[in-house]
Amino acid sequence: MYDTSDIRKNVKLKIDGNPYMVVDFQFVKPGKGQAFTRVKMKNMITGNILERTYKSGERLEKADMEERQMTYLYPEGEYYVFMDSQNYDQVRLTQEQLGENKFYLLDSLPVSILFYDGNPIGVTPPIFIELQIIETEPGFKGDTSGNVQKPCTMSTGLKTTVPLFVNQGEWIKIDTRTGEYVERVKK
């Protein structure tokens, strides 16, 4: 159990049976009055935002969260299948649960799967992955400033932007937290 003084950003709470992550909180206290903690939380499954006000000292349930290292196997209908390489357990996540992360699923990619109460609810890919550009406009020779960007599409379907000097067919490093171009890589 937590109490209100344990509340920090990113603390995970179980509210009405659902896992929430604290995104913001505020200590409020009328001068000589009772103190409260106003908490803004994100539902870790639906992404919905919830705001609650707790009396100082009130007990709050911890969300039972666990992260396991797994490997991406293959898509199966509207599911994506992952395997724990230690014990060969397999789990399936839906497109909806993956969100943007579905664009980073390369064969045999090591990922971390988030479990809530024993069920998989989300996936975190490595921070940097390398993808090939399958479509982008030709760039202008000599423009190496990197300040101007153009749209591009990656082999996995991800759409992002790259500097003008980057060409179709080249491989680039992507930051999976933002979906943004980091640098060109030689393959």
Partner 1 sequence: MAYASPRYPVEIVQRLSPASPAKLGGRVVDARNGAALVHDVTGSVWVVCTPVPVLGAWVLCEGLWDGERVTNASCQVVSVPDGPFPQPGGDFLWGQADGARRLGNLRARAVVLRAIRSFFDQRAFTEVETPLAVPSPGLDLHLDALEVKGGDAPRWLGTSPEYQMKRLLAAGLPRIYQICRCFRRGELGQRHHPEFTMLEWYRSFAGMHEIMRDTEYLVAHVARSVYDGSTILPEGARPAADGARRGPVDVAPPWERLTLRDAFTRYAGISLDEALVDEERFYRVLTEQVEPQLGRGRPTFLTGWPASMASLARLDPADPTIAERVEAFVDGMELSNGFTELIDAREQRQRLLRDQQARAQLGKEVYPLDERFLGALAEAIPPAGGNALGVDRLVMLVLGAAHIDDVVAIPPGRL
Which range of residues in 33-41, 91-99, 103-111, 175-183 is near partner 1 by CB under 8 A? 33-41
Q: Would you say 35 or 134 has its CB closer to partner 1?
A: 35
For position 27 contacting partner 1 by CB under 8 A, the verdict is: yes
Q: How far is the CB of 32 from partner 1 (least distance, A)?
A: 5
Q: Would you say 30 or 142 has its CB closer to partner 1?
A: 30
Q: How far is the CB of 163 from partner 1 (least distance, A)?
A: 22
Q: In this structure, are residues 82 and 72 in contact, taking their beta carbons and an 8 Å threshold?
A: yes
Strand partners, 53: 38
Find tokens 């003008």 and name the residue. Answer: 164
Nearest residue to 36 via CA among 60, 15, 52: 52
Q: In this structure, are residues 155 and 106 in contact, taking their beta carbons and an 8 Å threshold?
A: no
Of residues 2, 19, 20, 36, which one binds partner 1 by CB under 8 A? 36
Instruction: Using the CB atoms, write b or e for 45-60: b if 16+ within 10 Å.
Output: eeeeebebebeeeeeb
Please give the structure tokens belonging to residue 17: 């049976």
Which range of residues in 53-61, 91-99, 154-162, 172-180 is near partner 1 by CB under 8 A? 53-61
Binding region for partner 1 (CB under 8 A): 5, 26-36, 38, 53, 55-56
